[in-house]
Every structure is written in structure tokens, then in C-alpha cells.
Amino acid sequence: KAGVTQTPRYLIKTRGQQVTLSCSPISGHRSVSWYQQTPGQGLQFLFEYFSETQRNKGNFPGRFSGRQFSNSRSEMNVSTLELGDSALYLCASSKTGTGYTGELFFGEGSRLTVL
Amino acid sequence: AQRVTQPEKLLSVFKGAPVELKCNYSYSGSPELFWYVQYSRQRLQLLLRHISRESIKGFTADLNKGETSFHLKKPFAQEEDSAMYYCALRGSSNTGKLIFGQGTTLQVKP
């Protein structure tokens, strides 16, 4: 079974630009969550999507947004990039319903550098 | 406020020594607690969860609601245990929202 796939793996942007990151969950997983990982703040929850609807949201500004498609693939977008947005963005998928264990399966992440 | 605290950024032990990675949490209710691990150049992955009360790779963790702790323990550390360990809390059931601690790097020296 293929794991969670994130693209692109690395990208460099400049301040003011916008970026879109993509996440393909494990087949059959309908929940996709996004996390930001930085040396200073650690792992912080951004948002979660389930059945194309945002189910939870973390404490991030409105510049951070996401969506989920009918095939459970998800994208997150960051507009008007700031230097502080430089981070590793992790996507995680989980199984829901019968057999749900609470385990999140993480991707390798997309490393964003803002110059 | 929901919070997970891992007081040690780095824990360095010798092979064969006991290991205890500390985790304290703040949550008003009955949370689910997890330990996730990230080995070098690998993805973050689940090590164990309190609800299953299992031992994985020799590691155990007991939820102490009185002390609001979920410390991870192993009686005899191995070099392959060297990794970054994250304690995480989930407040609501059936969601992907986890609150992570800052992580502890475990270094097991030969």
C-alpha cells in the first residue's frame, strides 16, 4: 500500500508570493490533516479535512487555506508569503469509521523556504 | 488550554541503560495520548498509544491522570532507539487534530 505522498518535496519562494502544496492520502483514508513544523514552534496543527469539508482548524491566519477533493486528495495554499512561513509542511491521513485507531500516517513533507 | 510539555530537548544515555522520556499534558477532559517517533531520514510514525496498553520495541507508556503524565520508558536502550520522540494529545475522538510536544531527541551511545 502506497504511503502518503506530498508534492513538491522542496520549493523556494519569495515574500509576497503564494504557494500550493499537494497531498495524496493512503487509499481509503478520508481524513487529511496538515501540520507546520519549525525548529522554534515544533509541530503545529493547521487544519483537517474530511469528506471535502474542513473539520478542524488551528490558530493560523487566513493566509493559510486548504481544500479536499472528492478523491480525498488535499491541497493547502499559503498566500502573501512571509519569511516566517519557511517550514516543513506535513500532511497526515487517517482511517475513519470502523477500525479507526487514531493513528496518523505522515508524508515526508514539503520543505518551503521563503526568501 | 490544551498543551503537551516535553521538558527535555535532548536525552543522552549509554546502550543498555534505562530510558525515560517525560511527557506532561494539560487538558480538561479525557484525552488520548500518543507517542510518535521519527528516525533519521524516515517519516514521523506512531510508536504507541495509551489506549492499547501495548509494548512496542520494548517501549511502554502509562497514562497517569493524577499527575497528567504519559512518560515513555524502556528498560534497556539500544542504539537503534536513537531518534526524535514526540508526545501528542488528541482531545476529540475521531479527528486528525493532534497537539504535539516539542519533542525529545534520544541519543543512545555505544
3-state SS of chain B is CCEEECCCCEEEEECCCCEEECCEEECCCCCEEEEEEECCCCCCEEEEEHHHCCCECCEEECCECCCCECCEEECCCCHHHCEEEEEEEECCCCCCCCEECCCEEEEEEC
Q: Does B99 touch chain A (CB under 8 A)?
A: yes
**Per-residue pLDDT tens over the stretch B34-84:** 999 999 999 999 999 887 778 889 999 988 989 999 999 999 999 999 999
Instruction: Provide the mean pLDDT of chain A.
Output: 94
**Per-residue pLDDT tens over the stretch A31-53:** 999 999 999 899 999 999 999 99
Of A58, A93, A103, the CB nearest to B46: A103
Q: Does B31 touch chain A (CB under 8 A)?
A: no
**Per-residue pLDDT tens over the stretch A19-28:** 999 999 999 9
Chain-chain contact of A31 with B51 (C-beta, under 8 angstroms): no
